[in-house]
Amino acid sequence: MHILIAEDDSILADGLSRSLRYDGYAVDVVSDGAAADSALQLQSFDLLILDLDLPRMHGLSVLRMLRQRPTPIPVLILTASDSVEQRVTGLDLGADDYMAKPFALSELEARVRALTRRSAGAASTILKYKRLTFDLNGRIARIDDQPLELSARETSLLEIFLSRCGRMISKNQFVDLLCEWGEEVTPNAIEVYIHRLRKKIEPGGVKIVTVRGLGYCLEPERSDTIAA
């Protein structure tokens, strides 16, 4: 899961990014609204954490422009102002959640988990696929209740596959979803990671399908269809 933080307080942004990276997310940070708007146009993210009082472009303007584009990314607003009017305006413009500063880091982390879970269409904290289960909170995968030994990158790959069941995912999309800016991860490296993950989950009957020229997806169950 890839998160964009738009926050001009460098200390707060650093603390948030460190905490979310520890939880297994790829995190990029911008410090002004114009940079946030540009990043959102150029790359796909799973969540935007948006401060409102940003330089160069106000957070509400960033949100307004984002919602004019067909990108259903969830947005969590952060602001030092807790006025009801500003909260209502943000929600009406398309924000999904709202937190006033100062806030408890544990609560923000819980809200991030809830928003990314909801965005993936998961009502539960446990994703299930055939004999495999994935705990979104603990980020632990199991087959028949036996934990799988996965690297951090393999865990993130599996989470992407499970949250997009039935959808084809290209190598370039994996790079966007897994990697922060400046990470030199090539599509060929993604192929290696997927090969390693495939070897660990196939004994449990979970197969990754390769479609040349399109990408990868989990082998559909009989009632599923593959969508590009």
Among residues 89, 119, 149, the one where a domain terminates is 119
Q: What are 107's two structure tokens?
A: 């609560």
- Domain, as residue range, for 178: 126-218
To the question of pTM greater than 0.85 for the whole model, the response is no
228 domain residue, yes or no: no
Q: How many domains does the chain have?
A: 2
Residues 130, 221: contact at Cβ < 8 Å? yes
**pLDDT on residue 198:** 93
224 domain residue, yes or no: no
Q: Are residues 115 and 159 in the same domain?
A: no
**pLDDT on residue 66:** 95
182 domain residue, yes or no: yes
Averaged pLDDT, groups of 10, the chain, 228 residues long? 93 92 90 96 92 93 93 90 79 91 90 82 74 87 92 90 84 85 82 93 89 86 53
**pLDDT on residue 113:** 87
**pLDDT on residue 123:** 54
184 domain residue, yes or no: yes
Residues 109, 99: contact at Cβ < 8 Å? no
Among residues 119, 147, 175, the one where a domain terminates is 119
CATH number at residue 205: 1.10.10.10
CATH number at residue 102: 3.40.50.2300
Q: Are residues 73 and 176 in the same domain?
A: no
The whole-angstrom distance between residue 50's C-alpha and the CA centroid of its chain comes to 15
Bridge partner residues of 136 (DSSP): none
Q: Are residues 89 and 141 in the same domain?
A: no
**pLDDT on residue 84:** 80
**pLDDT on residue 117:** 78
131 domain residue, yes or no: yes
